């Protein structure tokens, strides 16, 4: 299976009041096409910083992040912006959407901005509706974003992340603002997308969410301290196995 993301000796340092804060320290790992990988760890361990840095949303201090054969640290700002727009999808805990646009127009926005998306305007609209049908939210297509539930809005964010058919989705606490029922629905959809071939890397503090992933990276103080792999098909056994491993890690 092809490696889509190769991270080597990644470092991220912030200077605060003339003092160095080493958030990431020589982090190395890889992600293969079709994987669904979770990043877990204590608060302040560098989980979100890792996600933003490897995807080019934040600048690295040192090291390499090779995405689909391209070193993102060597790309010009416009090249990096195009890469993120055309080949990556992003989902966040805070569901950022433009209030002056309907739900479907928010979903379509990245497709309309992309220079690489080959579809016509009509085809883009039809594809957005197809995604909304798959995620069970077609009935809210023309609603304003303040007229829908949190679970519906997060599923709309998943549609938006998929609109340019990305090679990989990066998600930062995608269920963090949702109740358990909505969280399960969103993870069901992400699992389906992954099973259809889209690579996913997500940050979560929720072990139940992480147990839906085939691999979990555990990060402490900017270092990956361990990896959990599971091929267990029984959700209860997988949950139990992951929780036992997390306790060993000091969770």
* pLDDT tens figures, 93-136: 887 899 999 999 999 999 999 998 899 999 999 999 999 999 89
Cα–Cα distances (Å) from 223 to 28, 50, 53, 140, 168, in that order, read 9, 10, 14, 42, 23
238 pLDDT tier (thresholds 50, 70, 90):
confident
- In the chain, % helix, strand, coil (3-state, to 5) comes to 40, 30, 30
Domain 3-249 has CATH 3.40.50.300: yes
CB atoms within 10 A of CB 19: 7
Q: Is the pLDDT of residue 231 over 80?
A: no
pTM of the complete model: 0.93
The one-character DSSP state at 115 is S
Count of helix runs (H) and strand runs (E) in the chain: 8, 10
Q: Is the dihedral of CA 234, 240, 242, 244 positive or negative?
A: negative
């Amino acid at each position: 299976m092809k490696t889509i993301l190769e991270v080597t000796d990644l470092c991220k340092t912030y200077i605060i009041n003339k003092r160095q804060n080493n958030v990431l320290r020589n982090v190395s790992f890889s992600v293969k096409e079709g994987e669904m990988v979770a990043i877990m760890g204590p608060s302040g361990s560098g989980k979100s910083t890792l996600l933003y840095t490897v995807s080019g949303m934040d600048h690295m201090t040192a090291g390499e992040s090779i995405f689909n054969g391209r070193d993102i640290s060597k790309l010009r700002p416009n090249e990096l912006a195009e890469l993120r727009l055309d080949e990556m999808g992003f989902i966040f805990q805070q569901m950022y959407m433009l209030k002056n646009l309907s739900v479907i127009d928010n979903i379509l926005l990245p497709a309309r901005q992309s220079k690489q998306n080959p579809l016509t305007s009509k085809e883009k609209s039809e594809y957005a509706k197809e995604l909304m049908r798959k995620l069970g939210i077609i009935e809210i297509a023309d609603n304003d974003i303040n007229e829908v539930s949190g679970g519906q809005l997060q599923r709309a964010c998943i549609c938006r992340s998929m609109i340019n058919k990305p090679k990989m989705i990066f998600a930062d606490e995608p269920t963090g603002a949702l109740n358990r029922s909505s969280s399960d629905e969103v993870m069901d959809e992400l699992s389906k997308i992954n099973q259809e071939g889209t690579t996913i890397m997500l940050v979560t503090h929720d072990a139940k969410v992480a147990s839906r992933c085939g691999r979990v990276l555990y990060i402490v103080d900017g270092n990956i301290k361990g990896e959990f792999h599971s091929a267990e098909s029984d959700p209860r056994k997988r949950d139990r196995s992951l929780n036992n491993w997390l306790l060993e890690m000091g969770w």
